[in-house]
């Protein structure tokens, strides 16, 4: 018996339902939500995010050091100092902990984005773009932070005054300039690796599609198998 003309026959899919088909064809929001719930990209977005988080961490470590590091300062009245004598000591443990914690934040954010992108179409490219944006944001104020760091270390990061020429290794502002250049170099490496990964992935996708189109048809039609004819020939 044939089906009525108005009857909707769903495809041969055990997970298919008529309500789902109506929503998918008629609700734009359902299509957007399907990008997150029904598409799987594997672990590639998370893997590239974790790899890019390594240079990003050291980049943010240099930046957070310039922004947060400060020496412990002790001042007292003395005969040779006017109005106060100042002695600088190494940064406290709490300051060092803050520097390392803030340096971890950009990398953790990138890894979290990579994990979320494992269920999003083109999530690999989104992870790479996120690393580029975060790397640019990390170093955007390093010039200002370098100036502030120099002001907080008036005799250099070694805390040795220039009068002690034998022990003095870093002059004022010298280390800050090198730290900023290191942060910028690590930013360039992060961006370069992200762009290179996107180009490689895009090349692999294009190559796979071209190879699929050029693949020859290898299937051949099989002859039918019949039982031997038991009919005796006529006389």
Q: 21-25, 88-92, 94-98, 183-187 — which is least confidently predicted?
A: 21-25
Measured distance between the N- and C-terminal CA atoms of the chain, rounded to whole angstroms: 47
Q: List, as own/partner pairs, every contact residues 187-191 make where C-beta atoms lie below 8 angstroms and the sequence separation is at least 24, other chains included.
A: 187/59, 187/135, 187/136, 187/138, 187/139, 189/55, 190/52, 190/55, 190/56, 190/59, 190/131, 190/132, 190/135, 191/131, 191/132, 191/135, 191/136
What integer pLDDT is reported at residue 12 of this predicted model? 52
47 upstream amide cis, omega within 30 of 0: no
Q: At 221, phi and psi to the nearest 5?
A: -75, 130
The confidence score (pLDDT) of residue 42 equals 81
Q: How confident is the model at residue 202 (pLDDT cuts 50, 70, 90)?
A: very high
**If we measure between CA atoms, which residue out of 168, 179, 160, 199 comes closest to residue 69?**
179
Mean pLDDT score, 89-93: 86
Per-residue pLDDT of 219-228, as tens digits, reads: 555 555 555 5
- The percentage of the chain sitting over the pLDDT mark of 90, rounded to a whole number, equals 47
DSSP state at residue 5: T
Residues above pLDDT 70, as percent of the chain: 68
Rounded to whole angstroms, the Cα distance separating 61 from 99 reads 7
Tokens of 228: 């031997």
Taking only the tens place, the pLDDT of each residue in 130-172 is: 999 999 999 999 999 999 999 998 888 877 777 776 766 778 8
Whole-number Cα distances in Å, 147 to 26, 87, 156, 160: 58, 21, 12, 19
The structure's pTM equals 0.70
For residues 59, 61, 66 and 70, what is the CA-based torsion angle, rounded to 10 degrees? -170
């Amino acid at each position: 018996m044939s089906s009525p003309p108005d009857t909707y026959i769903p495809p041969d899919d055990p997970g298919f339902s008529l309500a789902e088909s109506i929503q998918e064809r008629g609700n734009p929001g359902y299509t957007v939500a399907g990008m997150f719930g029904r598409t799987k990209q594997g672990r590639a977005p998370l893997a590239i995010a974790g790899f890019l988080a390594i240079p990003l961490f050291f980049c943010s470590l240099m930046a957070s050091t310039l922004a947060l590091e400060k020496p412990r300062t002790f001042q007292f009245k003395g005969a040779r100092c006017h109005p106060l004598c100042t002695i600088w000591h190494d940064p406290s443990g709490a300051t060092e902990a803050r520097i390392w914690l803030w340096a971890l934040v950009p990398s953790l954010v990138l890894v979290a984005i990579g994990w979320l992108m494992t269920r999003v179409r083109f999530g690999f490219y989104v992870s790479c773009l996120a690393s580029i944006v975060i790397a640019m944001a990390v170093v955007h104020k390093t010039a200002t932070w370098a100036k502030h760091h120099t002001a907080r270390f008036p005799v250099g990061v070694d805390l040795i005054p220039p009068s002690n020429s034998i022990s003095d290794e870093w002059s004022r502002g010298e280390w800050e300039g090198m730290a900023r250049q290191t942060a910028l170099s690590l930013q360039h490496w992060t961006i370069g690796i992200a762009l290179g990964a996107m180009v490689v992935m895009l090349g692999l996708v294009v190559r796979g599609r071209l190879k699929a189109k050029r693949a020859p048809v290898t299937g051949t039609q099989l002859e039918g198998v019949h039982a031997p004819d038991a009919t005796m020939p006529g006389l």
